[in-house]
Amino acid sequence: MFPGIDTVTDADVLASLAHDEAEWAAVGKPVAAVRARTTAEVQAVVRECARRGIPVVTRGAGTGLSGGANAVDGCVILDLSRMNRILRIDTDNMVAVVQPGVVNDDLKAAVAEHGLWYPPDPASAPWSTLGGNVATNAGGLCCLKYGVTRDYVLALEAVVGGPAGEYGTAVRLGHNTTKGVAGYDLTALFVGSEGTLGVITEITVRLRPARRESPRTVVGAFADVVAAGRAVAETTRRGLLPAALELLDRMTLRAVEDWKHLGLSADAEALLLAQIDSPGAAGEQEAAAMADAFRSAGATWAEQSTDEFEAEALFAARRLAYPALERLSPVLTEDVCVPRSAVPEMLSRIAEIGARHDVRIASIAHAGDGNLHPLIMVPAGDDAAREAAQAAFEEILAAAIGAGGTVTGEHGVGLLKRGGMRRELSPSVLAMQRAVKETFDPINLFNPGKVIGDPGE
């Protein structure tokens, strides 16, 4: 089908490439997978698939949590994980040019050798690729202060569709300058589009100078997650802006400690972890103010950590939360985001929904920006528990919308959040989104059924 391009048809290998990490998202049966290494190979695949009417589903490392990279029946999986070269690090202009298969942490390590830093840091940074990060507009622990992926993408190369005969065209979007407003911002439109508008084959990202000092960590312990939520709201009222402000509950801490033996204490019902990276005396004052805000909001204790190993272990626990809990049972992962002032009420609603449906929900969060990740745990093979979990999942989405929030802060819509997105957005806005999809992809070749759904849905 694709002469000279690495093509996979083995059923077992295809099955391993046909899905991401989303629990219970539908998975179709692909006809083949293609491991492209160049833009030219991607173009050839897209042209041939367009000619034959074969859907194209692009994937990177497969770490997504919404089903956005799941195969549809009869599709070709376009695997970009081998397009993994850092093409250029421009220290004079503080930008890097990478292929989509570059792993997030590998880019961080490479630019750090030049005294630079790439801030977006999803929990999957050791494994997830830049292409997937761009496709979902990934955030992470540092996005509270430093922004999300969209804030760092200056330019893209993408293989796109269009009128009949034009599928497979490679275009360059964006600019290499700090500013640029020539026409509509098509680069920003592609960021977060989850592979539904075309295939991203090259990414230009802005960088920042490396941080001069190791961040300070302030830890607060709370009697429950709602009390921790009140502390988040208090930090906002006081105008404090840490580099990261993360929440972990007791269930999560125990799961990580039982797995990795990091030496963590799981006595508190909830912890808040604040990372302060302002240098010198300003950082010391900020850390003291953060601890005071925690205490004022009801922390049983709050202190700046003086043990660098302990601080690193706590943030490692936050990053390891999902795989640690997944070891115990299937996990249905939420990704709602609410205004920061609504965090306490939203955490209370999540607890109430879990109790009413009799499902266990572990709570972790990028609490500082209101991005909550309730992890709904379900015993394997228990159909009744699965139905209860799915009902709780949908109620949490509704509660987030009701609080003035959104059904997804960083994981993307994929398959799991399509219904929630339709409830969140007005009919007029949904029609605009469908029009965008039809303009870029009139034959519905790229990742069909995801995000906006198929025509007529």
Same-domain status, 192 and 242: no
Q: How many residues does the chain have?
A: 457
Strands (E), 94-210: 95-98, 116-117, 153-160, 169-174, 198-206, 208-209
Looking at 79, 105, 125, which one is the last position of a domain? 79
Span 135-185, pLDDT tens digits: 999 999 999 999 999 999 999 999 999 876 789 999 999 999 999 999 999
Backbone angles phi, psi at 129, to 5 degrees: -100, 160
- Are 343 and 319 found together in one domain? no
Predicted pLDDT of residue 313: 85
- Whether residues 106 and 194 fall in one domain: yes
For residue 340, give the 3-state DSSP assignment. Answer: helix
317 shares a domain with 218: yes
pLDDT tens digits, 399-452? 999 999 999 999 999 999 999 999 999 999 999 999 999 999 999 999 999 999
pLDDT, residue 43, reads 98
DSSP labels, 204-252:
EEE-EEPPSSPPEEEEEEESSHHHHHHHHHHHHHTT---SEEEEEEHHH
Q: Residue 268: enclosing H or E segment and its boundaries? A: none
- Which residue in the block uniquely carries the two structure tokens 């589903």? 57
Whether 104 and 32 map to the same domain: the answer is: no
The verdict on residue 355 lying in a domain is: yes
Whether 246 and 303 map to the same domain: the answer is yes
**CATH number of the domain where residue 240 is located:** 3.30.70.3450
pLDDT at 288: 96
Strands 76-79 and 56-59: parallel
pLDDT tens string 79-96? 999 999 999 999 999 999
Mean pLDDT, residues 351-368 = 96
HSE toward the beta carbon, residue 114, CA cutoff 13 A: 18
In a domain, 360, yes or no: yes
The answer to whether residue 65 is domain-embedded is: yes
Q: What is the pLDDT of residue 181?
A: 94
DSSP secondary structure code for residue 293 in this structure: H
| % of the chain exceeding 70 in pLDDT | 99
Containing structural domain, residue 24: 7-79
Judged by DSSP in three states, 90 sits in strand
Query: Do 243 and 203 belong together in one domain?
Result: no
The DSSP secondary-structure symbol of 446 reads B
Give the model's pLDDT for residue 164.
66
Of 266-280, 362-376, 417-431, minimum mean pLDDT range: 266-280
Angle between helices 225-237 and 343-357 (to 10 degrees): 160
pLDDT confidence band for 375 (50 / 70 / 90): very high
The verdict on 189 and 232 lying in the same domain is no
Contact 56, 49 (CB under 8 A): yes
Among 435, 441, 369, 450, residue whose Cα is nearest residue 169? 441
Per-residue pLDDT, 432? 96
Query: Which CATH number goes with the domain that contains 390?
Result: 3.30.70.2740
What would the pLDDT profile of 293-339 be if each residue is shown by its tens digit? 999 999 999 999 877 787 888 888 888 999 999 999 999 999 999 99
Vertex 73: Cα angle to 375 and 412 (nearest 5): 35
Of the residues 324, 340, 369, the one at which a domain ends: 324
pLDDT at 261: 86
DSSP, collapsed to helix, strand or coil, labels residue 313 as helix
Give the dihedral sign, CA 251/256/257/263: negative
Q: How many domains does the chain have?
A: 4
Do β-strands 32-35 and 76-79 pair in parallel, antiparallel, or remain unpaired?
A: parallel
| Residue 114 sits in the same domain as residue 39 | no
Same domain, 108 and 142: yes
Tokens of 6: 């690495």
Are 312 and 346 contained in the same domain? no
Contact 260, 320 (CB under 8 A): yes
Looking at residue 93, its pLDDT comes to: 97
The CATH number that applies at residue 22 is 3.30.43.10
Last residue of a domain, one of 46, 79, 112: 79
| Residues 150 and 252 reside in one and the same domain | no
Q: What is the side-by-side order of every strand in the sheet holding 301-304?
A: 301-304, 216-222, 270-276, 244-249, 360-366, 371-377, 331-333
Q: What is the pLDDT of residue 289?
A: 97
Q: Rounded to a whole number, what is the largest CA-CA distance in the chain?
A: 66
User: Is 449 part of a structural domain of the chain?
Assistant: no
Read off the CATH number of the domain in which 105 is found: 3.30.465.10
Q: Mean pLDDT across the chain, nearest whole number?
A: 95
Any domain includes 453: no
